[in-house]
Structure 1
Amino acid sequence: MKKITILIQLTLCVGLAFAGFSAQAEDVKGSAQAGNAKVWLCTGCHSIPDYRADYPLVYRVPMLGGQNAAYIASALAAYKKGERKHPTMRSIAASLSDQDMADLGEYYAAQTASSPNNPLK
């Protein structure tokens, strides 16, 4: 009986810990204005039409203006976790917080597909 009680308590604690982590991740709200100060990391590649990066393979670098904010944040998180493999993006994403990713997502979502993707004025 004591083992069952301990198991129930342990299960409850683990469940609450995951619930707290999930709630914290959902509380991050991006700001396009805050992203404006962070976008300098991105413009060197993502503001050049038809740009191709050639290390270690040839990659077509997409323009990000008008992209969905949540998609950008989740793509950056995937690079940070190593789920996406481009080495430069993995390095950049490793330095970003969840807030940075959300801000960059909102910044690009505020742009249009034909925007030059330069910082907001």
Structure 2
Amino acid sequence: MKKFFALLMFASIANVAAAADVVANAKAAKVEMCIGCHGIPGYKATFPEVYSVPMIGGQSAKYIENALNAYKKGERKHPSMRGIAASMSDQEIADAAAYYSQQTAQTAKK
């Protein structure tokens, strides 16, 4: 019986550690500013016009990185995204792209 409780305790600690890793990876990737729009299923933004915001969890890292760099260079014109991308370093863009490529639409909203 003691082995069972020890195993149960170990499993609980492992789950807490895994959850902490997800949070740490999100903070390291600086995705806090992304979650507010891209982490809400069915979210619609109203600036500069009404449009559906895509869920980016599970997208290819290369796609996300290319899109952010295009916003940063002004090749994509959305004003909010352009401002956000312009504030990110190349490493922050790569980290955010890697983070979201490992998520799904469901896990990215947490």
Conserved 8 A contact 2:71-2:85: yes
Unpaired runs of 5+ residues, structure 1, are 1-31
Partner residue in 2 for 1:100? 92
1:47 to 35, 39, 48: 39
Conserved 8 A contact 2:100-2:108: no
Conserved 8 A contact 2:68-2:85: yes
Identity of aligned residues (%): 59
Mapped to 2, the partners of 1:92 and 1:42 lie a distance apart of 9
2:78 to 78, 82, 86: 86
Aligned CA-pair RMSD: 1.8
Conserved 8 A contact 1:78-1:84: yes
- Normalization by structure 1: what TM-score? 0.66
Conserved 8 A contact 2:58-2:104: yes
Conserved 8 A contact 1:33-1:107: no
1:61 to 47, 53, 59: 53
Relative contact order, higher structure (CA 8 A, sep 6+): 1
The amino acid that maps onto 1:102 is A
Which consecutive aligned stretches of 4+ in structure 1 deviate over 6 angstroms post-superposition?
A: none
Q: Partner of 2:107: helix, strand, or coil?
A: coil
Aligned residues: 87
Conserved 8 A contact 1:79-1:89: yes
Q: Partner of 1:103: helix, strand, or coil?
A: helix
1:36 to 11, 18, 26: 26
Mapped to 2, the partners of 1:89 and 1:51 lie a distance apart of 15
Taking a change above 3 Å as real, the CA distance of residues 46 and 65 of structure 1, as seen in their structure-2 partners, is same
Mapped to 2, the partners of 1:86 and 1:36 lie a distance apart of 24
